[in-house]
Amino acid sequence: MSELFEFGKNILESQPFSVLLGTELEVFEPGLANLSLKVRDQLKQQHGFVHGGVISYLADNALTYAGGSVLGDSVTSEFKINYLRPAIGKKLLATASVLSAGKNQAVCQCNVIAIGDDGECTVAVAQGTITRVAK
């Protein structure tokens, strides 16, 4: 386990909301971050799909991680998400990467993929700006 990955896991464990949802860090390398979430009933909306707010949370957090992998301690300043189809399956995986980074900000993109017994499909795409937290 790399030092960066360990750092990322510690951050995630110190986010009570991520603990509540059960988010796991799968990949955390310079310029890349994958976060996943086991789908359970508590995360759904009234039609039985994963709630859009869960998907936007996961995209937002993966974007922050991707940006943070090159900037250090960071927050999401803004992002935009398009939902492509209803999210069903056993697991959500958000894969985010850095498109461009300066000293204080990075622009990142993220795909959210739903993985089920029958395969996987992209359920949302997001794009946003991550900003380094001034110390």
Q: Which residues of the shown chain bind a second copy in the complex (CB under 8 A)?
A: 11, 14-18, 20, 41-47, 51-54, 56-58, 60-61, 64, 75-85, 99-100, 105, 107, 109, 122, 125, 127-129, 133
- Which of 4/56 has CB closer to a second copy? 56
Q: Is 108 helix (H, G, I), strand (E, B) or coil?
A: strand
Bridge-based pairing of strands 91-101 and 105-116 is antiparallel
CA distances from 31 to 56, 66, 84 (A): 20, 6, 25
Whether residue 51 contacts residue 39, with contact meaning beta carbons closer than 8 Å, is answered with no
Between 2 and 42, whose beta carbon lies closer to a second copy? 42
Q: Shortest approach of a second copy to residue 114 CB, angstroms?
A: 13
Q: Which is nearer to a second copy, 1 or 47 (CB)?
A: 47
Smallest gap from residue 2 Cβ to a second copy (A):
20
Please, which residue, 85 or 116, has the CB nearer to a second copy? Answer: 85
Find the shortest distance in angstroms from Cβ 27 to a second copy: 19
Q: In whole angstroms, how close is the CB of 37 to a second copy at the nearest point?
A: 11
Q: Which two tokens stand for residue 12?
A: 């995630």
Could you give phi then psi for residue 57, rounded to 5 degrees?
-55, -50
Cα(34)–Cα(32) distance, rounded to whole angstroms? 7
